[in-house]
Amino acid sequence: MAEPIVLISSYPPRLCGIGTFTEEAREFLQRANPDREVLVISHTDGQGEGVFPLIDTSRRDWWKPVAEKIRQLDPYAVHLEHEYGLYEYRDPRGRGDGNEGFLTLLEAVGEYPLVVEPHTVHGRLSDFEAEFIYQLCQRADVVLFKCHYQKWRLDWTFPGRGWETPRNVMVVPHGARPDRRWGIHEIPALRAELGLDKAGLADHVVGMIGWIQANKRWDILLSMWEELHEEIKRQSGQEWDLLAAGTIRDPHDKPQYESWKSAVLRLQDKGIAHYYEFIPRGELYYKMMAVCDFIVLPSTDETQSGTLARIIALNKPFITTAPMEGLTAQTLESEGGLLFTTKEMLRRKVIRMATNEQLRLRLGENLRRYLDEVVSWEVVVRQYHEAYELAREAKRTGTRVTLPLEF
């Protein structure tokens, strides 16, 4: 067996978007590397074959057993998924280390090809974020950003601080599954499987699907749905229901969860909406989206989105907030959704999407093409391999990776 690819990340059963992302990435990496194991070093709650649950951030030196395991595995490449909260050690006073342990890990295993994929890179960096990204690019061989704007913005924000723009940044989009597309003829069976036919759900459905958390702002659409329902029916003669499905992940979001769930249930009592509680993971997540005609994603903070990746995987037309970092970037690039920036715009866009089947078909076709050509995991994994080869060549020659700037 060839040298393994080692992923460093949170991992299921932890209810974590990065963990779910890594689970899918690993699946497609393994398909593309039948002769090379794809292993995971995870936090202590990670489980599964080929998973080593070693990251314990209650310890300042959590990185030491991780570095030791990497040396033992002697990998082909080390691919680290980064989110600030995943690697933050907090001392007895609650003071964080600013991800110092993560940067120390990179130094400790610097003899191996290192590819780091940060999942939050804001267009306007805070001083802390700018310093972290700078230090990260110094220590990693290749740094993977999700969106082009994140890369070209660095060429403004870094020189503005008197720093040189890092040249080892490569843009690789958030992967999306190419194997979860159901035909229109298959939707009735899915509705029956989910019990939605017995719930009296209308033939046409607007969906808000995923984790119920403060930044997703379900209340914006909920507050106007009764009026929208009547206007859509007046213009089209069709009955449309709102399907709000998901559950809470972060206990800090409990007030929003309880408030928004209550609002959906009030609409459900009026026969114009339906609430479905489920954990947004695995195939069920895709099936829940598949029964919708289009999706509304009213997020107010998103540099990239696992929810949007699933929307794209299903070729579902969508409406989302703008300007909003990665959400806006992918909407523009895919030409698969509509954007809103005020409540009135959202009202108009929902009515337009619901009353214009040709628009929905056109946007869905654009998403099909975008998935096949740009963000399919099969395409993304090929880009991962390119990053691994660049990192390996850098280690072999002792030279820094140098990639072209965006502009």
Report residue 109's pLDDT band, with 50, 70 and 90 as the boundaries.
very high
Q: Which pLDDT tens digit goes with each residue over 48-90?
A: 999 999 999 999 999 999 999 999 999 999 999 999 999 999 9
pLDDT at 1: 78
Is 361 buried (19+), middle (13-18) or exposed (0-12) by CB count in 10 A?
A: exposed
- CA angle, residues 376, 377, 381, in degrees to nearest 5: 125
- CA angle, residues 163, 145, 64, in degrees to nearest 5: 85
Q: Which pLDDT tens digit goes with each residue over 247-291?
A: 999 999 999 999 999 999 999 999 999 999 999 999 999 999 999
Which residues make Cβ contacts (< 8 Å) with residue 343, sequence separation at least 6? 220, 223, 224
pLDDT at 337: 98
Q: Which pLDDT tens digit goes with each residue over 13-25?
A: 999 999 999 999 9
Find out whether 292 and 207 touch, Cβ atoms under 8 Å.
yes
pLDDT at 305: 85
Strand order in the sheet with 273-277: 273-277, 240-246, 204-209, 294-297, 318-321, 337-340
Summarize the chain as % helix, strand, coil (round to 5).
50, 20, 35
pLDDT at 348: 98
Find out whether 299 and 305 touch, Cβ atoms under 8 Å.
yes
Mean pLDDT of 144-158: 97
Mean pLDDT of 161-184: 96
pLDDT at 302: 86
pTM: 0.96
Q: Which pLDDT tens digit goes with each residue over 285-328?
A: 999 999 999 999 999 998 878 999 999 999 999 999 999 999 99
> 184-375 adopts what CATH topology?
Rossmann fold (3.40.50)
Q: Where are the alpha helices (DSSP H) in 76-217?
A: 100-108, 127-139, 148-157, 187-194
Is 91 buried (19+), middle (13-18) or exposed (0-12) by CB count in 10 A?
A: exposed
> 2-175+377-397 adopts what CATH topology?
Rossmann fold (3.40.50)
Is 374 buried (19+), middle (13-18) or exposed (0-12) by CB count in 10 A?
A: middle
Separation CA 104–CA 138 (nearest Å): 12
In the chain, list all ranges with CATH 3.40.50.2000: 2-175+377-397, 184-375
Q: If DSSP codes are grouped into helix, strand and coil, which group holds residue 253?
A: helix
What sign does the CA torsion over 157, 159, 163, 166 have?
positive
pLDDT at 64: 98
C-alpha 327 chain-centroid distance:
10
pLDDT at 304: 78
Separation CA 161–CA 164 (nearest Å): 9
C-alpha 13 chain-centroid distance:
17
Q: Which pLDDT tens digit goes with each residue over 332-390?
A: 999 999 999 999 999 999 999 999 999 999 999 999 999 999 999 999 999 999 999 99
What sign does the CA torsion over 192, 193, 196, 202 have?
negative
3 has a pLDDT exceeding 90: yes
Q: Which pLDDT tens digit goes with each residue over 201-221?
A: 999 999 999 999 999 999 999
